[in-house]
Chain A
Amino acid sequence: MNTDKHRFKTAILRHETILLCVVILEWIYFNSVGLRFGSLDNTFDIMRHSVEIGLLALAMTPIILTAGIDLSVGSLLGLCAILFGKFWRDAHMPIPLAAACTIGIGALAGGLNAVLITWLRLPPLIVTLGTFSLFRGLAEAITRGVDTFTNFPASFLFLGQERWLGIPAQVPIFVAAAIGIWLLVHRTTFGRSFRAIGFAPEGTRYAGIPVERRLAMAYVLAGIVAAVAAIIYTSRLGQAKADAGTGYELFAITAVVLGGTSIFGGVGTVHGTLLGVAAIAVLNNGLVHARQPREVAGMLTGLLLILALTSSTIPKMLASLRERRQTPVTKPITT
């Protein structure tokens, strides 16, 4: 059938398919070059190191689907990390309570972004650029730039450094978050609304969808996820400092965009984001095993991003060129 053939063709050209091939090719290449790259230990290592950025990228996906952006998640990770340390060490809270409070702080911080964006109708780029500085500044002020939190109990460090049922202990949290956000985006009316807002915010309002509430939900969710990432980060490194998570927001945005989500909103998938995270994580880890300097990783990530983005547009461009050649140019009819 013609439509089946067409469907197969579009599936092959789908961004996620191309990206999956990239990840597999990366894997094959580094496995042939690096000595220990393909080992189970190293695979777990890659996972451990990509959980925090992966969480931020997952939470960033709904936001970018609404044609918004959140630059503050990296700074918020830093703020949450040191507040978590503060709750535990200075307020003498037990770890679970400190974690709960930290997540509360994350929700509040996301709520601040949401309020500024939906009530004051300021562009998300400007709002989160502001809170990007604000959250980091707060973290530095609280620690006066020198205080670090260490000597966490072993039971807490287990989360970031040990294995549970044979896999890194933080991975189940990440998998749960990935499934949750995938369901949210792809299987609920909320995800549908995010897309609609990304395509046409006014049109969405005219359909009776509470645009402000949906936007607020996406930003608060990002705040909560950033707090969870902060706790995992602290556990993995065994310490919390004010500069935790510096630059993570850009890695997260890169992963989302690499995963095929349009920065203009509306288009994108959560599994694409996961592949984007994987492509970057495998590349960074593989280069270390191939004994390449760290700087190469940045360059190659940039190159990968540009290549991945053009790979999906080039077939479209070719198709439209072919169409234009086939149909004669007609004068537009004025109505």
Chain B
Amino acid sequence: MRALKGVSFDLLAGEVHALLGENGAGKSTLIKVITGAHQPDGGSIEINGEQVAHLTPASAHKLGIACIYQQPALFPDLTVAENIGLRLEPSSPLKKVNWPARRTRATELLQRIGAEISPEAEVRSLSMPEQQLVEIACALGAGARIVIMDEPTASLTQKEQHLLFAVVKDLRANGVGVIYISHRLDEIFQLADRVTVLRDGESVGTHAIGARVCDPQQSKTTKNAMESPKAEFDSTSCGSESRAPEMNESSLIKLMVGREVSAIYPPSESEAGNVVLSLKHLGCSAGGVRDVSLEVRAGEVVGMAGLVGAGRTELARVLFGITPADSGEILLNGERVTINSAQEAVAHGIAYVPEDRRRHGVILEMPIAHNMTMAIHRRIFPGAWLRFGAEKQLALDFIHNLGVKAYGTEAPGGSLSGGNQQKVSLARWLATKPKLLILDEPTQGVDVGAKSEIHKIIRHLAKEGLAVLMISSDLPEVLGMSDRIAVMRGGTITAMLPGKSDAHEVMAAALGQKEGAE
């Protein structure tokens, strides 16, 4: 799998450059390359006009590149001053710590970014945004010229966001280049000067947003291209920017989703039948799911789109009884049910093929035959006595029907490839003859061939009258497979769209634009 293929990106001094893209578009990988955590296998990186041959985390740090992650990486049991000291003071085991100097520096740095944090406070006692501020102070203290922020506002309140924005603007005023990653378009329009959109590991365009005039002097360029012999962009001047058209939210979303839904997805042939699952204002405060209302009919594939963390897997866990619901109603075939454990869910005819295949989907050490019968112990083994012949026959049938590639029914699950493991996981749940099948990222980490096979299986199941709820972060998959699309955001369903929707609409709903209509 190639995460990045030919990305060109440049950052000017004193600008906020937003990086935008779907889940898996390559943002994180790009950051890892810039911070020296991953090595590019093609292209070049220039900093302050000089080409950097081999970037390591240490040399990136020396060159003034700092990254502030969503989860700050501070020592929780040390004070703020100690944490800053550890980052900035040269370490030597014999040197005596100059405590007053350490404290003074911490105070200065915190004041510079306007943070009201005591240097004596233990990091444990700080809130998440306060910890981010400490990280920013560290970056400043290290003389960072390039600050990368990876979804810094994901866990912040409105008020904390404003504080953070002020700091970002301050950094910009001081000539620091900020790479700002966020899923929130409104933030990007508020903060960023330019935006680069990544899609499938490629940069599909860099566009100006703000009305700010950029200062062409003292510019830094970070260029990066994996597997592309030459970097296309050379924007040490503002030339490219003035040429780029002004963007609005809608055109940005279009850029992010861009591609056409390919015709490789098997067509829907099934007629929607009776309502199998009906949710009414379902909520689970522990699971972060609130007020979800949804209907899934027999013979129908309902796709669930949304960004990572939108609450889709959490909803599946509620339906499967792992984290039981605490409000609302679940109706199965019109009857109200409560689901407090996975056993109860199975008894009600709900099957869940989980996202984390290796931890939850398949027991890697166990033979695939054992894996396939795990959810039907009661039915296939009456009186709890194992019947090896029946088990083997069932396993052979599934191996044949789903096209599982394994050396035999006794092959341990871990010896199979990802796609075949997924088929084993699917077989386990099909064996229960469920009414409702919940698939969570059914083709994640699965090769192309197995992926289209799994798609065919899903279609076939729907045609046979199964109600399918398919969670997927793969937008083309959602568009290609779904009869209807539910979009989740912030733990609830924000839009129900028809299956033939446009990628742009789904993405807009997932990002919180008000375009999706009920």
Q: Which residues of A contact B (CB under 8 A)?
A: 187-193, 195-196, 199-200, 202-210, 266-267, 333-335
Bound Cα distance from A14 to B445, whole angstroms: 35
| Least CB distance, B428 to chain A, in whole angstroms | 7
Cβ-closest chain A residue relative to B376: A208
Taking a contact as CB atoms closer than 8 A, the residue among B342, B359, B364 that contacts A208 in the complex is: B342
Name B284-328 residues within 8 Å CB distance of A.
320, 322
A-side interface mostly: helix
Rounded to whole angstroms, the CA-CA distance of A193 and B377 in the bound complex is 10
**Is B346 a contact of A208 with CB atoms below 8 Å?**
yes
A-B contact pairs, 9 of them (CB 8 A): A188-B381, A190-B384, A192-B377, A200-B359, A205-B342, A206-B361, A209-B342, A209-B343, A210-B341
Q: Which residues of B contact A200 (CB under 8 A)?
A: 359, 363-365
Task: Encode B1-40 as 1/0 by CB contact (under 8 A) with A.
Answer: 1010000000000000000000000000000000000100
Interface residues of B in 346-390 (CB under 8 A from A): 346, 352, 354, 359-366, 370, 374-375, 377-378, 381, 384-386
Nearest CB on B from A150, distance (A)? 43
Q: Are A266 and B365 in contact (CB under 8 A)?
A: yes
By beta carbon, the residue of chain B nearest A190 is B384
> How many whole Å from A322's CB to the nearest CB in chain B?
19
Given A206-B360, A207-B428, A335-B445: A192 in contact with B370 (beta carbons within 8 A): yes
Least distance between A335 CB and chain B CB atoms (Å):
4
Contacts of A195 in B (CB 8 A): 366
Tell me whether A209 and B361 are in contact in the complex, defined as CB-CB below 8 angstroms, given that A188-B384, A189-B384 are known contacts.
Answer: no
A203/B359 in contact, CB under 8 A: yes
B-side interface size class: 20 to 34
Interface residue? B276 (CB, 8 A): no
- Determine the distance from Cα of A208 to Cα of B374 in the docked complex, in whole angstroms: 8
Is B176's beta carbon under 8 Å from chain A? no
- Indicate if B345 sits at the interface (CB-CB under 8 A): yes
Report the 4 A-B pairs with minimum CB-CB distance, sorted nearest first.
A208-B346, A207-B374, A335-B1, A206-B360
Are B386 and A189 neighbours in the complex by a CB distance under 8 Å?
yes
Residues B363 and A204 in contact, CB atoms below 8 Å apart: yes
Which B residues touch A204, using CB under 8 A? 363, 374
User: Which chain B residue shows the least CB distance to A207?
Assistant: B374
Name the residue on B nearest A210 (C-beta).
Answer: B343
When distances are taken between beta carbons in the complex, the residues of chain B under 8 Å from A207 are 342, 363, 374-375, 428
The CA-CA distance from A195 to B365 in the complex, in Å, is: 10
Rounded to whole angstroms, the CA-CA distance of A113 and B2 in the bound complex is: 51
Report Cα–Cα, A189/B380, bound state, in Å: 10
Contact B386 A187 (CB under 8 A): yes
For residue A319, give the distance in angstroms from its CB to the closest CB of chain B: 16
Contact present for A188 and B359 (CB under 8 Å): no
Cα distance A312–B22 when bound, in Å? 50
A203-B377 in contact (CB<8A): no
Q: A203-B359, A205-B342 are in contact. List 16 more A-B contacts (CB 8 A).
A: A187-B385, A187-B386, A189-B378, A189-B384, A191-B386, A192-B374, A200-B359, A200-B364, A206-B342, A206-B352, A207-B374, A208-B345, A208-B375, A210-B343, A334-B38, A335-B3
Q: In this complex, which of B38, B343, B361, B432 has the most chain A Cβ atoms within 10 angstroms of its Cβ?
A: B343
Q: How far is the CA of A190 from the CA of B322 in the complex (A)?
A: 21
Asked if A188 and B363 make an inter-chain contact with CB atoms under 8 angstroms apart, the answer reads no
Q: How far is B385's CA from A187's CA once the two chains are assembled, in angstroms?
A: 6
Distance (Å) between the CB of B435 and the closest chain A CB? 15
B366 and A199 contacting across the interface, CB-CB below 8 Å: yes
Closest-by-CB residue of A relative to B383 is A188
Q: In the complex, A202→B428 CA distance in Å?
A: 16
Chain A residues contacting B361 (CB-CB under 8 Å) are 203, 206
Q: B381: which A residues are within 8 A, CB to CB?
A: 188-189
Taking a contact as CB atoms closer than 8 A, the residue among A187, A189, A266, A333 that contacts B377 in the complex is: A189
Write the nearest CB–CB distance from B45 to chain A, whole angstroms.
18
Chain A residues lying within 8 Å of B359, measured Cβ to Cβ, are 200, 202-203
Cα–Cα distance between A204 and B1 once the two chains are bound (Å)? 31
Please give the distance in Å from B365's CB to the nearest CB on chain A: 5
Chain A residues positioned under 8 Å from B3 (CB to CB): 334-335
A206 touches B385 (CB 8 A): no
Are A199 and B365 in contact (CB-based, < 8 A)? yes
**Docked pose: A206 CA to B428 CA in angstroms:** 11
Which residue of B is nearest A212, CB measured? B341
Which chain A residues lie closer than 8 Å to B322 at the CB level? Answer: 205-206
Measured CA separation A202–B363 after assembly (Å)? 10
A177 smallest CB distance to B (angstroms): 18
With beta carbons under 8 angstroms apart, the residue of B360, B363, B385 that contacts A199 is B363
Complex: chain A residue closest to B371, CB-CB: A207
* Of listed B320, B352, B362, B384, residue having the most chain A CB within 10 A: B384
* Complex: A202 Cα to B385 Cα, angstroms: 24
The listed residue with most B CB atoms (<10 A of its CB), out of A195, A205, A210, is A205
Contacts of A205 in B (CB 8 A): 322, 342
CA distance A109 to B360 in the complex (A): 33
How far is the CB of A249 from the nearest CB of chain B, in Å? 27
What is the chain A residue whose CB lies nearest that of B342?
A: A208
For A192, give its contact among B346, B360, B375, B386 (CB under 8 Å): B386
Contact among A188, A190, A209, A335 with B374 in the assembled complex (CB-CB below 8 Å)? A209
Contact B363 A196 (CB under 8 A): yes
Please give, as numbers and ranges, the residues of chain B lying within 8 Å of A266 by CB-CB distance.
Answer: 365
List B contacts of A208 (CB < 8 A).
342-343, 345-346, 374-375, 432
- Report how far A255 CA is from B365 CA in the complex, Å: 24
Chain A residues lying within 8 Å of B346, measured Cβ to Cβ, are 208
Q: Are B366 and A196 in contact (CB under 8 A)?
A: yes
CA A199 – CA B365 in complex, angstroms? 7
- How many angstroms between the C-alpha atoms of A203 and B38 in the bound complex? 32
Q: Which residues of A contact B342 (CB under 8 A)?
A: 205-209
Q: Which residue of B lies closest to A191 (CB)?
A: B386
Which residue, A199, A203, A266, has most C-beta atoms of chain B within 10 A?
A203
Q: Could you tell me the distance between the alpha carbons of A203 and B363 in the complex, rounded to whole angstroms? A: 6
Chain A residues closer than 8 Å to B377, beta-carbon distance:
189, 192-193, 209
- Say how far A144's CB is from chain B's closest CB, in angstroms: 45
Most buried by B among A191, A206, A209, A267: A206
- The docked-state distance in angstroms from the alpha carbon of A140 to that of B324 is 45
Bitwise interface map of B from 135 to 173 toward A, beta carbon under 8 Å scored 1, else 0: 000000000000000000000000000000000000000
Q: Nearest chain-B residue to A208 (Cβ)?
A: B346
Alpha-carbon separation in the docked complex, A202 to B357 (Å):
12
